Structure 1
Amino acid sequence: MSPHLSADRPAAQPPRRGSVDALISQTRRLRGEVDAVRREAPVDEEDAHGRWQRALCNLALHQLNDLDAHLAELRDGPPEVPDAPAATAVTESAPAAPPQGSLLSRVGSAEWNLLTDEASWSGELYQILGRDAAAPPLTLDELPSVIVDEDRPMLTAMVTDCLIDAKPIDGEFRVVRPDGTVRTVHMMGEPVLDPDGSTASMWAVLRDVSELRRSQRVVGETRESLRLQRQVARTEHRLALELQEAVVPPWRGSLRFPRSGPGALDVAAHYLPSSTGAPIGGNWYDALELPGRETLLSVGDLTGHGVTVTSGMAMLLGALRGMAVAGTQPGQLLSWLNQLIDSTVQPALGSAVCCRYVPATRTLTWAQAGHPAPLLYRDGTGRALTAPDGVLLGATSGAVYGQAEESLRVGDLLLLHTEGLIPRHADAPHPDEAGDAGRTAAVRKLLDLAPRFGEARTAQDCIRVIVEEFGGAEREDDACVLIARIGS
């Protein structure tokens, strides 16, 4: 099998930082101020207002810490994360009190007197638990009855540690409201000691964090989805790259077709990747020695990107080679390629130019399917060959493709390329909006290289000229170019 060509691929661009740093600074400054208020609060355990103030400050510090972390993630972008844990069997319902989508949560308080077995709840706590404000508050023994079964052991352990070992309470559990809805509650509390040092009562602040946890869950699920999307994109890019390089393996320098005899072609080609980081497209180029010392030259582009398009390109190139080896002429070859695309499960559109060169007579027979015509350079000037009729591959069933012949001379140079070779600038007319104006401008830029091509010694030198002129330009799609010089 004759050798082929390959090229480098562009790297992804790093994300830009926005103005989130200012918000992070404000959040951290506010967190320091709240912490100062918390330290200044009364420490008298008998002062209910002081306990309430410290508890609210602690909750505010929790929220500001979370906000700081979320803003940092917003600035830096979602990191790679491990697989998410399995979802729990119980799902939370939509909140009744806070506005939809709001992270603001209700905060309630409670105090349980261990000596009298009395309980005291704030009105907000009744609303959090969905209980009738006229009903008596639940005692510590009754509280587990509204807790989800899986969370009861955790609540029991926290209360026991608080009452026996005087440990602060800080944990979350899910409660089932009378209407059957489930809410997540964050509880913070401390024991209240009598003068003898025994636990006399326990107070707590309870915050409904259902919406906050739901938002965090959405963030986690989105992060996981992004991770999976990146993994799929990397895998698809690797497969598309491997498939493209398997079909179009690296080809360094100029090659001779046929390998011996008069009238041989000096051939070189190059692939130019997209500068936008777009996935690999369906561009191809090919040079193949045929029976009878003839040579097949082809360039084409299948619309789309990714593995599906690259596999379709491989199928077309394989079919093109097989039919060319069997002696099929370019016009009939494109007709059969059109029929092949039309019959595939996932129809697509493609453009191609196919040339058959006979070295004995230096005759080029060629056909095109919605593709730029080959450019012929001779004696320091260049022109586009007059294109025979031909629509895009896959555009219509039963399409017939015309065929043209061109007599070549020793020293002539042929250039085949895809449309993306010359990037379209913002001020240039778009082919879709201005007919052939865009293509004409691109062809003119290539024809202007005729004097430099005349000074080049090999086809590979001409490729270097192309890369110097257009290789560093911003292009939205990948492209390829093939150059053949007629030998003596």
Structure 2
Amino acid sequence: MPPHLSADHPAAQPPGRGSVDALISQARRLKGDVDAVRRDTPGDGSDPQERWQRALYDLALHQLDDLDTHLGQLRDGPAPAPAPPDRPAPAPPRRGSLLSRVGTAEWNLLTDVASWSGELYQILGREPGTAPLTLDELPSLVHDEDRPKLTTMVTDCLVDAKPIDGEFRIVRPDGAVRTVHMMGEPVLDSDGSTASMWAVLRDVSELRRCRSAVSETRDSLQRHRHEAQTEHRLAAELQEAVLPPWRGSLRLPHQGPETLDLAARHLPSSTSALIGGDWYDALELADGHTLLSVGDLTGHGVAVASGMATLLGAVRGMAMAGTQPGQLMSWLNQLLDATVQPALGSAVCCRYRPETRTLTWAQAGHPAPLLFRDGTGRRLNAPDGVLLGATSGAVYAQTEETLEVGDLLVLHTDGLVPGHSAADSVNLLLELGPRLGAADTAQDCVRLVVDEFGESERADDACVLVARVIS
């Protein structure tokens, strides 16, 4: 049955077969290209961005497949009418063809006779030999929630001659729920009254599933981005609240120690949006000594920033109570070992006595401080100490170093020199000795280090702390 727009409009004639064949070839070639790109896209589906992209690929392929089959039907002409009840039904259409997804129907209001195409029986799950449902019977197949929608569309079409264009769900006899898109128009009699109604019904269940998958993955991606942005903001605010807000030359409370010129800088990761657990600190103690420390807690995000704040608070509290660096590291290790969420950390803790210019320090799996004197640098010999949280009951040794006026002490975390091993990083920093020795202030030294290594792509955060002995 050729669908007609109205009684006074002739049916459109199909285009030439050759031009349609060309369109089919182009559609299939484009589908092959899209499918190749989809298959070449790696991933395990754990990333929301990846799931969103793959859902879009699936939707595009589904729509290209629909275009291919639409063009095929346009080239081949309308499907044959269903066989009468006394004749055998035609073989079912091949899987994936348009005949299993699009059907036509006409309801004659004057004779109350309905006419369905064979493919509509398959869409609605009806036996081909049964009589087609009338407009009054059609709602029996429709999902309870969608019956008012169908009733409104049909009423508007029959009473007000409005075209039908809408979707509703049907419940097939086997219990399967499918989504059907219905388009149709009234056929007017010579006096302008509605004589019949024709419609094209298309099973769009798979298309809606693909679009739903795209929508869900897009929403998931947006939630993921929002959560990541929120976590980054919270971690950054926590880090800023905990680390000393040093600008220019470092100034400690009460003007800081008169014997040290201090400066520091935190260098964020250029490849991760999350805040790491690196810290630096300098604290003037009650006995006139100065605490210098740098450290790194493994991981990223709010939990790691919170853990870093806990460790830094513990370092400050124990140092203020007079705890020496070796014992301080042992208690930090016990603190990490007792936390609910296990973590690993590294740190260097130094206690400087200005009256003797003595530096007492300990380390836990961390790069040793670098000492520059008269333009020449060396790495201090590190006392024994394993990573914080690596083993219970670890003991940390401490050692002393006597400094001189003009000496420059550089404390840093891993990753200060991106793309190099720990040994190469130390060598590159030591090569800056003559330039660091010629610098006037600790801030100039930090600026020199940052100018040298700060612009490189870094996979993780890093910190550098410079202490210059001035008296």
Partner Cα distance (2:228, 2:326) in 1: 38
Does 2:435 align with 1:452? yes
Q: 1:456·1:462 contact (CA, 8 Å) conserved in 2?
A: yes
Letter aligned with residue 467 of structure 1? V
Q: Which residue of 1 aligns with 2:222?
A: 227
Which of residues 262, 286, 310 is equivalent to 1:267? 262
- Residue aligning to 1:479: 462
2:451 paired residue among 463, 468, 473: 468
TM-aligned CA distance change 1:292 to 1:420, over 3 Å: same
Matched, 1:363 2:346: no
Q: 1:255 matched to which residue of 2?
A: 250
Is the Cα contact below 8 Å between 2:105 and 2:198 reproduced in 1? yes
C-alpha distance in 2, partners of 1:458/1:287?
17
Paired residue type of 2:298: T
Percent of aligned pairs with the same residue?
72
Q: Distance in 2 between matches of 1:129 and 1:140?
A: 14
Post-superposition CA distance 1:426-463 (Å, at most 9, x none): xx5xxxxxxxxx21110011011111111111101101
Tell me how many residue pairs correspond in the alignment.
401
Cα–Cα, structure 1 residues 147 and 259, in superposed 2: closer, same or farther, change >3 Å? closer
- The equivalent residue for 1:380 is 375
Letter in 2 for 1:171: G
Q: Does 1:293 align with 2:276?
A: no
How much does 1:259 deviate? 6.0
Q: TM-score, structure 2 length as denominator?
A: 0.79
Q: 1:238 aligns with which of 233, 238, 241?
A: 233
Q: Secondary structure at the match of 1:246?
A: helix
1:195–1:52: structure 2 CA closer, same or farther, 3 Å change rule?
farther
Cα displacement (A) at 1:305: 0.4
**C-alpha distance in structure 1 between counterparts of 2:242 and 2:317, whole Å:** 14
Q: Provide closer, same or farther for how the CA distance between residues 361 and 99 of structure 1 changes in structure 2, counting only shifts above 3 A.
A: farther
Shift of 1:161: 1.7
Change (3 A) 1:403 1:99: farther
Counterpart code for 1:292: D
Question: What is the deviation of 1:98?
Answer: 9.4
Is 2:203 aligned against 1:208?
yes
Q: TM-score, normalised by structure 1?
A: 0.77
Secondary structure class of the residue paired with 2:436? helix
Partner of 1:131: 126
- TM-superposed deviation, 1:380: 1.0
Name the counterpart of 1:422: 417
Structure 1 97/284 Cα, relative in aligned 2: closer, same or farther at 3 Å? farther
CA contact (8 A) 1:258 1:294 kept: no
- Partner of 1:255, secondary structure, is coil
CA distance change for structure 1 residues 349 and 302 in 2, over 3 Å: closer, same or farther? same
Shift of 1:278: 3.0
Q: Gaps spanning 5+ residues in structure 1: where?
A: 1-40, 79-95, 429-437
Residue identity opposite 2:319 in structure 1: A
Secondary structure of 2:355 counterpart? coil
- Gaps in structure 2 of 5+ consecutive residues: 39-47, 50-91
Alignment RMSD (CA, Å): 3.0
Shifted more, 208-217 versus 250-259: the winner is 250-259
Query: How far did 1:163 drift?
Result: 1.5
Q: What residue is the counterpart of 1:18 in the other structure?
A: none
User: 4+ residue runs of structure 1 moved beyond 3 angstroms?
Assistant: 41-53, 96-100, 102-105, 255-263
Q: CA shift at 1:277, angstroms? A: 3.5
Question: Residues 4-24 of structure 1, C-alpha deviation per residue, up to 9 Å, x if partnerless?
Answer: xxxxxxxxxxxxxxxxxxxxx
Give the match for residue 159 of structure 2.
164
Structure 1, residues 406-429: CA drift from partner, whole Å, max 9, x if none?
0110000000000111001xxx5x
Distance 1:300 1:461, change over 3 A: same
Secondary structure at the aligned position of 2:293 is classed as strand
1:234-264 CA distances to partner (integer Å, 9 max, x unpaired)? 1111111111111114111223679689971
The 1:160/1:342 distance shift into structure 2, 3 A limit, reads: same
Equivalent residue letter for 1:182: V
Structure-to-structure mapping, 1:58-457, within 5 angstroms = 106-255=101-250, 264-424=259-419, 438-457=421-440
Write the letter of the residue equivalent to 1:441. D
Change (3 A) 1:104 1:329: farther
User: Separation in 2 of the partners of 1:182 and 1:261?
Assistant: 75
Per-residue deviation, 1:155 = 1.2
Query: The residue matched to 1:372 in structure 2 has which SS?
Result: coil
Question: Post-superposition shift, 1:471?
Answer: 1.3
* Residues 258 and 265 in structure 1, CA contact (< 8 A), matched pair in contact too: no
- Work out the CA distance in 2 between the residues paired with 1:381 and 1:464: 19
For 1:459, give the aligned amino acid: A
